[in-house]
């Protein structure tokens, strides 16, 4: 399969896993359309990779996705592989996350992924072939305190992926979930910055629980695998004839679902509460 040139669409390609994956695919000769808001960053990252075409696009523009896919398909040919990688997190207690933040997280992490899937599927069904890779999270399997809304967006992505995997069998379209744990990218720092106004708020009943959440980016990154490591896993999925349904990336992504599935909920809840100093 290594000599078959594929047409790949990658969202969230300006940094982290998306950037590393796009580079690797391009270096192996695959034609990649890379989407992100920061086109200037992509222009620099991919300037020596001629098979990569960066396009500035905000995935929150849900209504613009069908037209974008039509334009890409007419210009470069329809994508045979879609990698839904764009995502971000705002952390706080569920009670205190403003509705506008909830809506935006669902738009970026779930609704845009769904819109891209719906837009590419007619082309994939016509070809009776295709691969959809949805980058989820370990918290899409196990929700953790103060990350509940982000977890909800990833639970939703897991749900549609499980359904699609069955619904699309007649057309030989594969659907795969990638479930990172800690990965060394801009994600953790961006999440901390976006969450700061909530986590540093005064007169909140959660104040003493928020304090330990701040300033943990370095500790997070010490436990993290590299973005290149995660991208290599996705690259191997793309090169595989028969990929699995799920690919955990970090050992935490193996352990946490095991705890939730096979350890009594009361004990798992206790361990998560203790780790987050909720008592």
Residues catalogued as catalytic: 136, 150, 154
Whether 20 contacts 45, CB under 8 Å:
no
Whether 158 contacts 177, CB under 8 Å:
yes
Phi, psi angles (nearest 5°) of residue 168: -95, 5
Sign of CA dihedral 168, 171, 173, 174: positive
Number of CB atoms found within 10 A of residue 197's CB? 11
**Residue 250 and residue 225: Cα distance in Å, rounded?**
7
- DSSP-assigned states of every residue in 82-100: EEE-------S-GGGS-HH
User: Exposed (0-12), middle (13-18) or buried (19+): which is 108, by Cβ within 10 Å?
Assistant: buried
Q: Which of 78, 91, 82, 98 is nearest to 18 (CA)?
A: 82
Let me know how long the chain is.
279
Whether 32 contacts 242, CB under 8 Å:
no
First to last CA, the chain: 54
């Amino acid at each position: 399969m290594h000599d078959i040139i594929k047409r790949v669409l990658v969202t969230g390609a300006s940094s982290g896993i998306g950037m590393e994956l796009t580079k690797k695919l391009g270096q192996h000769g695959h034609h990649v359309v890379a989407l992100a808001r920061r086109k200037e960053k992509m222009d620099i990252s991919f300037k020596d990779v001629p098979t990569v075409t960066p396009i500035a696009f905000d995935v929150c523009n849900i209504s613009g996705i069908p037209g974008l896919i039509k334009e890409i398909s007419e210009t470069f040919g329809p994508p045979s592989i879609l990698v839904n990688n764009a995502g971000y997190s705002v952390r706080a207690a569920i009670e205190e996350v403003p509705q506008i933040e909830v809506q935006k997280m669902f738009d970026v992490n779930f609704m845009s992924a769904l819109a891209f899937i719906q837009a590419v599927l007619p082309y994939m069904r016509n070809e009776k072939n295709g691969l959809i890779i949805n980058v989820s999270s370990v918290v899409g399997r196990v929700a953790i305190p103060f990350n509940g809304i982000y977890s909800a967006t990833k639970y939703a992505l897991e749900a549609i992926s499980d359904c699609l995997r069955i619904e699309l069998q007649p057309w030989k379209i594969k659907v795969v979930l990638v479930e990172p744990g800690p990965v060394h990218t801009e994600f953790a720092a961006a999440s901390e910055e976006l969450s700061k106004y909530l986590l540093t708020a005064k007169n909140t009943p959660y104040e003493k629980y928020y304090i330990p959440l701040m300033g943990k980016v370095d500790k997070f990154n010490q436990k993290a695998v590299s973005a290149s490591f995660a991208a290599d896993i996705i690259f191997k999925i793309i090169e595989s004839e028969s990929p699995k349904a799920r690919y955990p990336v970090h050992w935490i992504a193996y352990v946490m679902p095991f705890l939730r599935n096979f350890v009594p909920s009361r004990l798992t809840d206790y361990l998560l509460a203790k780790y987050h100093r909720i008592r």
